[in-house]
Structure 1
Amino acid sequence: MEQPEWRLRAKLANAYYDGKQLSETQRWNIRQEDLEERAINLIRPVINSVLGQEAKSRTDVKVEADDDTHADVAEVTSSRLKELERETRAHMAVSEAYASMVKKGLGWVHVSRSSDPLAYPYRFESVPVDEMWWDWRGQKGVTLDHRCRWVVRSRMVDLDEVEAGMPEHRAILRQSVSGWSEGMDDDGSHLGQPERYDLASAYENESRFALTVKKWDWLDSARKMIRLYEVWYRVPAEVVVLHLGGRNVPYDAKDPRHVEAVSRGLVKLSKGITSQVRRALYAGPHRLIDEGTTKRHFPYVPFFAFRDDEDSSPYGLIEGMIAPQDEYNERRLRVQWMLKARQVEMDSDALDTEFNTIDDIAANVMRPDFVAITNPNRQNRNQTAIKIRNDLQMQPEQFAIMADSKELIQATAGRYTNQLGSAQVQSGIANSMLIEQGEQSMGEMNDNYSYARRIAFELAVDEILEDLKGERTQVPVGTGKTRRVVVLNDWTPEGMPINQVGDAHIKTSLAEVPNTPAYRQQSQQQLAQIIQALGNNPQAIAVLAPAYIESTSVNNREQVAADLRKVSGLPDPSDKEAVANAEKQQQGMQQAQMEQQAQLAAATLDVQVSAAERNRASAQQAMANAALIQQRIEAGEPQANVAETMAKTEQAMRADAAANEDQILEQVLAEAAA
């Protein structure tokens, strides 16, 4: 109750967004001047542009594993998380928290299990700011900041709902709602019955509670409602830790791997102090539940926009827009008054007092059917009896200030006219630069939003993993032909763990995947450009065409893409077995192609060696023929006969060489084909 009064500022900011911008003093003055209560809301379109940007850039969330060891666990968790997003309307809850942080400076999201056994098992809801209180020492946050020791949510609940969930406290709750008037003595005991200790103690607690908290703050006897306080708080707790290769995990005596590792001395054990999260539930001053939990963090996630440096109180965009909005409204009311105001100038004897007075003129001068009876015997009968004028000399200055206030509202929020649908620049580059600058001005706030959003979905992943820790849990994943069953928390015959969820939750992380119409359209355009650029490559088109079909909005796009892959001989990306077989087949084809290229290279080398040997033999034969010609010429044989004989010999040698080369080439080609 001693926190800074930021809630009043938050309510005022939200009222300005709703158009409730005139104070009671302004309304009284407006009624006195007979003006119309008008406030032009310039804040709402600026804030709506910020909220629309969040909806436009919204992303899906999936779970990824750091390595292939826990790929199946990550796939199962990602599938469950996708279902949780759809069934709990998680994106809507996050969007509502974002709207609250933009307007008021703070929004809350609650991630928990549903108490209704017939409803979806998980719950993802946005919580009003007025219901939440937290330890003010948690400066960096609330959910993950261990300096924040407690979080409280308070809300009014019907008595019958509390009784249905906790029938053991029915007597105390009914007495509180009835004002302890149902057959009770002053000491809290039943009339004519022995004293009950629980009722007497509850009566005493409520009497002390009434000294500091007014009864109507936590009780509604007419409506039969009582205020519940859900308290989450941290307490120190001792824990035994296993040190595993730079990673610390709590020792679990039920895990045979932990027991075996400790018995063999393979790991180091140590004791330390951590914090345990507990949960308590109060109905006014009456404690109904106080129990320990297995959670590491509070289930409530705050979405802070900005924090005041002096007292760390949250504030949003509207707080800086209130002053220029007030200035705009005030100047507009002043212009409205100036347009209606009239200045009356007349002599003291200008009116016929038998029919009207100066008060009558002042009260009716702005009426379009204004009537005044003048005095025919006045002194200045040569001049107009009554002069009525409207002085609008200051009106241009008023409009200039109004225009400046309008620009200040946008400048304070960091939004430009181009982002509000009214372009003032014609250049596309200049327009893009202004839009980018506007988005940069939202950087800090959107960064805080992304951080809180990630924490919220990490809490949802923790809830999912908690339900998947059963021994040999079988979970179906995929659809159609790709549907398969993943077995979690299993063991090999040798005793090695398979898909252990307790280990995988440390290795999983959240990765954001854009999933908006604008993003899909952009991806589709990029794929179309790539396909057009690779028009001469049918293999590339066979790979990209199914992806292009899947990025469209065709109803049966998945079936069409599957048919295209089937015709092209490509596996479905979601079918891991088919993808693995295709990769093995492709690797085999690449290896065979490499072996074929190696054989062809070896055969080419043999041809080159054979050609070199033939050239060397031809050179030697040529040298021998030259020596023989010289000998025959020296012996006296005619030179013409010698030349004719040598020409015939050389022709025969060339024919034999060509025949040998053709024979070697045919042999090489036959080996390459084999």
Structure 2
Amino acid sequence: MAINENEKLGDLDRDFLASQEGQFLAWAHGLYQRELDLQADARTKRAIDAAFYDGDQFTDEELAEYELRNQKPRVFNEIKPTVDWLLGGERRVRTDWAILPRTEDDSKPSIHKSKLAKYIDDINNARWHRSEAYADMTKTGEGWIAIEYLPNPDGDHQITIQHEHWRYMLADSKSRRRDMTDMQYLWRTKIIDLESLILHFPEKRQELINLSGDMDVLEQELLDEGLNSTDPSDSERHLRSGTMNFMNSAGDRDGVKVYEMWYKQTEKVKLLRGEGSFNNTVYDPKNPDHQVLTEHYGFTLAEVTRQQMYCAMYTDDTVLYRQKSPYKHNRFPFVRRYAYLKDREGTPYGVIRSVIDPQSDLNIRRNKALHMLSSVRVVMEKGAVEDKEALAEEVARWDAIVEYDAGKKLEIQEGSDRANQQLNVGEQNSAYIRQISGVTGENRGMDTNATSGIAIQARQEQGTIISTVLTDMHSLGRKMEGELVLSLIEQFMDKPFQFRITADNLKDAVEFAKINDESEPETNITKTQSDFVVAERDYRTTMRQALSEQMMSSAAAIAQHTGNPDLAVSMLTAALDLQDLPDKDRLIDSLRKAAGMPPLSETEEERQQREQQQAQAQAQQQEMQQKQIELEMKERSAKIAELEARAAKTLVDSEMLKVRTLFEKLNTLKSGIETGGMAVQNHAALPVVDQLIDQIDSVLNLAPDPQQESQTAQPDPAAEQQAMLEQQMQQEQEQALMQQQEQEMMQQQQMQQEQQPDPNDPAMQDMQQQPV
């Protein structure tokens, strides 16, 4: 419901219109009304798109027609589940992001900025606000997010991230760029409580009271603004008198329609030029840091011509404030997402626009089929029955009995055959809606004519590719939001602050972070500038799942063939990252931790600390290994020394055995000589002496065995010891044999002595005198 701007301005004082505020108010109102007129048709269609999603799919004329034939109109909403599938896909796959330093010296502050940005995202419930903006973009073609620095209920200021409904926003119709760089102005219009406005602008008290009206009526006017040409004087909007009265007799709340305008003006500004993160920053003479840079660090000032952002807040007949943008980023504090733009007008539209016609036809076909199924048609010759109304009432009964004149033709036709034709066309409309929207029956898990797994996967992939345009625009909007939040952090978060991080991967541990701590200079986040980067994600869900399954199946084979389990863990973590699992980052970190690998969310400080600990552990392990090697070498040396000692002892024992053997042989020789002397005197003992003489060579042979010499020459200690043992056994055998022979000779000597004749015998004396 648009209000003519000329009528608004006609009631204003001419002196006020001649002032700067009056001229601005006239310019702003005229520009606002112009944009409403240009976008009236597009905004009306967008409102119809939203109504179709909500199930309001019949016009007033169609409803009147259904009422005439006493049929309740039924809505067969194929649009809502189609759009809900797209909205659910956005909620399941949310992008991640990071804040990167511009220079190497900004690395540590950028880590603190990342943590602070996550905290701001958490306290604002930003993910749900983004989902609402994505829903507006999908349904009506345009969604908005506002990023501002506002006071909270406690009186402190904080960075806010909030969704703005598309009906409250009006943007430059000539803007076509997705990043809004070609947009010259935009408005946010709201109905604000009168009491709150007077508290903020007490000097405008009287003007605000005169403009106040019932908030519900004003809100409905605002929602319908630009959608039709109804005269605003016909509404229930009423103006107040000069007396202060916040609540009328009906108990309604009073409010005022307020316009918030952001616009660009071309002017000259001074920029800082130098090395570092403050290069190309707008020079602020009141900023002491800028003065230090220009006086001591060689920064210079360059005057350039550029577009400066301004903001203003005004009502229908007064300007509340107008000033330069308080934000250093010099951009609109809003982020627009649009799905598609009409090529000629540049007006946005969403997914629903292309499926409204088949949806309307589907409703008509289905309702017509229901009407046919519940009714019959009678074809008869003229005069077949006398009372046609009675025939109609009777045919309407399920147990009807119809009588007609003989010879006349009468046929009752059921509506099932005709209804089937309508139902078939309706099914074609449903299939067409799914086809052109990109949400196929396979995406929704419905039974289709695709029987093989490859065919189903191909159709699912087809649906995700069609919807990639929406997710790509949503990713750009997320990046622009992060850039604005980062700029506000660097501009306003200049006081010491401690906060708790509530990320998904910190459920078992509480992490507190602090910024701008004087004892830790690296926590100062206002001295440096960083860049906001959105991580790229593959939104083709089916392809990601297929790749994930292949990587999981390959992980075990790779680990088995290479023998390196770390490769399998890397494959598994990459496969899990492709899955749409809740809390998957925590699962991946647990898997990597169990495999001794660092978490993916590891910061630069944590990486350096981990590498230092690993280096220390590796040095300790190397030291322990070196000590183990030295201990083993000592043990081997001790064993070698022991073997050498045993070999030397064996050699000494062998030499002693040889000496003892020689000594025993000499004793044996001596005994043999003495026995031979005695045998000469006794002729009966001569055979024994002859046998002793035959064996005397072997007994007195002192030459070593050649085989023993060859074995002794071997350097192997074990072989040498074995040879010594064999030699010792042989010597013991020889000694035992000699002892046995000696015993036999002793026994023979005793026998000979017993049988020996008297030495005084003359015959014996003659024998002794003869030479041997």
Give TM-score scaled by structure 2 length: 0.60
The 1:255/1:534 distance shift into structure 2, 3 A limit, reads farther
- Which AA in structure 2 matches 1:231? M
Distance 1:572 1:453 in 2: 22
SS at match of 2:74: coil
Alignment of 1:216-615 (within 5 A): 223=252, 224-244=254-274, 247-253=279-285, 259=291, 262-263=294-295, 266-295=298-327, 296-352=330-386, 357-362=387-392, 365-368=395-398, 381-383=405-407, 387-390=411-414, 394-424=418-448, 425-470=450-495, 473=496, 475=498, 488=516, 501-502=525-526, 504-511=528-535, 540=566, 580-587=608-615
- Please point out which of 48, 54, 67 is paired with 1:31: 67
Aligned ranges 1:108-147 → 2 under 5 Å = 108-118=144-154, 121-141=158-178, 144-147=179-182
Which residue does the alignment assign to 1:18? 54
Give 1:290's aligned amino acid.
R
Conserved? CA contact 1:343–1:389, under 8 Å? yes
Could you say what secondary structure the match of 1:58 adopts?
Answer: coil
What amino acid maps onto 1:129 in structure 2?
W
Following superposition, the deviation at residue 408 of structure 1 comes to: 0.8
Quote the residue 1:603 is aligned against.
Answer: none
Partner of 2:111: 75
The 1:234/1:420 distance shift into structure 2, 3 A limit, reads: same
- The answer for the alignment partner of 1:156 in structure 2 is 191
Once the two structures are superposed, residues 482-525 of structure 1 have per-residue CA deviations (whole angstroms, 9 ceiling, x without a partner) of 96765649699xxxx8565345334454447999x999999999
Residues 58 and 514, structure 1, Cα contact 8 Å, conserved in 2: no
Residue type of the partner of 2:129? A
SS of aligned partner of 1:382: coil
SS at match of 2:396: coil
Q: CA 1:256–1:456 in structure 2 vs 1: closer, same or farther (change >3 Å)?
A: closer
Counterpart pick for 2:205 among 167, 170, 173: 170
In 2, Cα distance between equivalents of 1:371 and 1:542:
80
Query: Could you say if the C-alpha distance between residues 168 and 532 of structure 1 is closer, same or farther in structure 2, counting changes exceeding 3 Å?
Result: farther
Summarize deviations over 1:548-568 as a string: whole Å, max 9, x none: 9x999899x89x969978x98
Cα offset, 1:213, TM superposition: 7.2
| CA RMSD across the alignment | 5.1
**Structure 1: how far apart are the matches of 2:134 and 2:492?**
29
Change (3 A) 1:412 1:561: closer
The percentage of counterpart residues that share the same residue type is 21
Equivalence for 1:197: none
Any conservation in 2 of the 1:234–1:275 contact (CA below 8 Å)?
A: yes
Between the aligned partners of 2:438 and 2:103, the Cα distance in structure 1 is: 42
What is the CA–CA distance in structure 2 between the aligned matches of 1:554 and 1:414, rounded to whole Å? Answer: 29
Task: Please state which structure has a larger fraction of its residues in helix.
Answer: 2
Bigger CA drift: 328-337 or 64-73? 64-73
The equivalent of 2:24 in structure 1 is: none
User: Residues 398 and 578 from structure 1, CA distance in 2 versus in 1: closer, same or farther, beyond 3 angstroms?
Assistant: closer
Q: Deviations over 1:591-611 (max 9, x none)?
A: 8999999xx9xxxxxxxxxxx
Q: Which blocks of at least 5 consecutive residues in structure 2 are unaligned?
A: 1-35, 215-230, 241-247, 630-703, 717-772
Letter in 1 for 2:194: L
Alignment map for 1:650-661 (pairs within 5 Å): none
47-56 or 215-224, larger mean C-alpha shift: 215-224
Contact 1:81–1:461 (CA under 8 A) maintained in structure 2: yes
SS at match of 1:504: coil
**Are the aligned partners of 2:593 and 2:599 in contact in 1 as well (CA < 8 Å)?**
no
List per-residue Cα deviations over 1:46-85 (Å, max 9, x = no partner). 1111111111112344423355522332222222222222
**SS of residue in 2 equivalent to 1:248:** coil
SS in 2 for 1:123: strand
What SS does structure 1 have at the residue aligned with 2:205? helix
Residues 490 and 498 in structure 1, CA contact (< 8 A), matched pair in contact too? no
Cα 1:95–1:489 change in 2 (3 A) is: same
C-alpha spacing 1:100/1:508, structure 2 compared with 1 (3 Å) = closer
1:406 to partner: Cα distance? 1.3
Deviation at 1:101, TM superposition (A): 0.9
Cα contact 1:138–1:145 (8 A) shared by 2: yes
Structure 1: distance between partners of 2:124 and 2:549:
30
How far does residue 150 in structure 1 lie from its aligned partner after superposition?
1.4
SS state of the match for residue 463, structure 2? helix
8 Å contact from structure 1 (residues 458, 510) kept in 2: no
The alpha-carbon distance between structure 1 residues 364 and 78, as it changes in their structure 2 partners (threshold 3 A), is farther
Distance 1:372 1:572, change over 3 A: closer
The TM-score normalised by the length of structure 1 is 0.68
| Contact 2:96/2:534 (<8 A) preserved | no
Whole-angstrom distance in 2 between the partners of 1:489 and 1:37: 67
Provide the rounded CA distance (Å) in 1 between the counterparts of 2:598 and 2:367: 71
- 1:51 counterpart = 2:79: no
Mapped to 1, the partners of 2:338 and 2:622 lie a distance apart of: 60
**Letter paired with 1:412:** I
SS in structure 2 of the partner of residue 327 of structure 1: helix
Q: Any idea what SS the aligned residue of 1:151 has?
A: strand
Q: Distance in 2 between matches of 1:241 and 1:469?
A: 22
State the SS of the aligned residue for 1:2: helix
Confirm or deny: 8 A CA contact 2:53 2:80 kept in the other structure: yes
Cα pair 2:489 2:526 within 8 Å, conserved:
no
Q: Is the contact between residue 487 and residue 499 of structure 1 (CA under 8 Å) also seen in structure 2?
A: yes
2:43 aligns to what? 7
1:638 is matched with none
2:680 is aligned to none
- 239-248 or 529-538: bigger deviation: 529-538
Equivalent residue letter for 2:432: L
Structure 1 residues 77, 216: CA separation in 2 closer, same or farther (over 3 Å shift)?
farther
Cα distance in 2 for residues equivalent to 1:129 and 1:327: 28
Deviations 1:639-674 (A, max 9, x none): xxxxx9xx9999999969xxxxxxxxxxxxxxxxxx
How far does residue 166 in structure 1 lie from its aligned partner after superposition?
A: 2.5
Q: Is the 8 A contact 2:49 2:352 kept in 1?
A: yes
Alpha-carbon distance in 1 for matches of 2:572, 2:61: 66
Contact 1:547–1:561, Cα closer than 8 Å, also in 2: no
Provide closer, same or farther for how the CA distance between residues 344 and 277 of structure 1 changes in structure 2, counting only shifts above 3 A: same
Tell me how far apart the structure 1 counterparts of residues 462 and 591 of structure 2 sit (CA, whole Å): 43
How many equivalent pairs are there?
A: 557
TM-aligned CA distance change 1:311 to 1:390, over 3 Å? same
Shift of 1:301: 1.4
**Does the CA-based 8 Å contact 1:76-1:477 persist in structure 2?**
no
Alpha-carbon distance between aligned partners in 1 of 2:512 and 2:530, rounded to the nearest angstrom: 25
Distance 1:422 1:569 in 2: 42
